[in-house]
Amino acid sequence: MLDPTTTGVVVTALLFVALAAGVHIGVALGLGGLLGMYLAIGPDAALGQIATIPFSTTNSFTLAVIPLFILMGSLATHAALTTDLYRAAYNWLGRLPGGLAMATTLASAAFGAACGSTVVNAAVFTRIALPEMTRFGYDKRLSAGCIAASGTLASLIPPSILMVVYAVITEQSVGKLLIAGFIPGVLSAAIYMVGIYFRVRRNPGLAPFPDIQITWRARFRSLYGVWGVVFLFLLVIGGIYTGLFTPTYAGAVGAFGAFLIVLGKRRLDRTKLLDTFKDACVTTSVIFIIVIGGILFARFLTYTGLVASVSEILLGLQLDPYLYLLCFAVIYIVLGMLIDPIAIMVMTLPVMFPIMVGAGFDPIWLGVISIKLAEISLITPPVGLNVYVVRSSSPIPLSLEDVFAGVMPFLVLDVITLALLIAFPQIVLVLPNLMY
């Protein structure tokens, strides 16, 4: 067996080599953790871990909320609830400067309350909103950037899958984390909309004023189509906030509620229903593979003592807490240029979380900051995941350069939001502190 520190450094280096070679992140983490434990604590102990961790992880009552939230979002997507949301937002905001882009942001935020997936959110609104904005003469960079950035709101507005993953890794309250994301999510959407408004006022050529007439009767009638999403949000998040449901029970209630809504709207036949369950199963499997691999790798780091050593060294430097936060943010942004946010969390949190909490940061607040950083990484070049989703889902000719150019102003707006959350932590903590 090798020296623990040497083993930790060698296996971590091999992990990044595997990622650069294109190995799936969950597989790379799992194999790295297994190899590290084999070298650090011997073959018998390593094989014992691989025999127990996959089952103990997937048998978690807390993690059961992930497939339930995914199923709820899949049902809402296949039932075209997004179309109703976009129509309502369009009717209310369409005649403002940049109104269609603002409507896309608002509808994306609302759909995030039923979906929880940034990728699904971006793909759906690319197909719905991009042709509409193009038809009215909107600049395609503004349109594509708006959709890519607004899609990230699903990771912050509850129910959020990333919040659940963070809670499991750091052993924090899932309910408090979900509730903590609500105000920051709404704030992010509002800042996006304000930014769009002022950009278009300054440069009207980005978004020509639409020649449409919408009556107040049509506006109020369009609200009828969004009752399903509003009902789901109040049912799930209201139940968690009041203590009526645990997050897992809330996920089950939400998935069943989504099923009843789409059944009542008669938008799912047998084929679409099977596709819904298939999509939910595939997405859940991918997430669980990453989580299992991450836990194996985290267990290896624990056995080598690398986490404790790094924490002790960094905290021993007695740096300003915000310098630790800056390093944390840089790590997230750099890794986010290359890999998936869930993978970033399972790779970094076992090491960084003890350091950040030791530096004096609230773990619930840190969770929201982590998710906001993950949002930023989703639209950061060269590999912003949402940018590629918009490009691949676009029904009109669109280049990656167009989408990356379009998201740059939204990155600036994200930095403004992040600065507000850091300067005023109570934006994050006020609702969790009032729970139950």
The model's pLDDT over 166-207, given as tens digits with 9 standing for 90+, comes to 998 888 988 899 999 999 999 999 999 999 999 999 998 888
Region class of 269: left (phi > 0), else alpha (psi between -120 and 50), else beta: beta
Residue 436's pLDDT band (cuts 50, 70, 90) = low
State the pLDDT confidence band at 366, using cuts at 50, 70 and 90: very high
390 neighbors 144 (Cβ within 8 angstroms)? yes
User: 3-class DSSP state for residue 313?
Assistant: helix
Residues 356 and 344: their CA atoms lie apart, in Å, by 16
Q: Hey, is 108 helix, strand or coil?
A: helix
Tokens describing residue 30: 């799992």
How far, in Å, CA of 330 to CA of 233, rounded? 33
Please state, for a pLDDT cut of 90, what percent of the chain lies above it.
18
pLDDT at 53 over 70: yes
Q: Residue 336 has which token pair? A: 């986010």
Q: Among 60-64, 156-160, 221-225, which range has the highest average pLDDT?
A: 156-160
What residues contact 40, with CB distance under 8 A and at least 6 apart?
1, 2, 4, 7, 8, 300, 303, 304
The single residue listed with the structure tokens 């985290």 is 298
Q: What does the pLDDT read at residue 307?
A: 64
pTM, two decimal places: 0.83
* pLDDT average, residue stretch 347-373: 90
For residue 1, pLDDT beyond 60: no
Structure tokens at 68: 């339930």
If 0-12 CB within 10 Å is exposed, 13-18 middle and 19+ buried, where does residue 51 land? exposed
pLDDT of residue 6 exceeding 80: no
Angle at 254 between CA 379 and CA 225, to 5 degrees: 75
Q: How many beta carbons lie within 10 A of that of residue 3, not counting itself?
A: 12
CA dist 234 and 117 (Å) reads 19
Say how far apart CA 369 and CA 155 lie, in whole Å. 12
- What's the pLDDT at 192? 95
DSSP for 249-286 reads HHHHHHHHHHHHHHHHHT---HHHHHHHHHHHHHHHHH
Position of tokens 């021993």?
Answer: 316
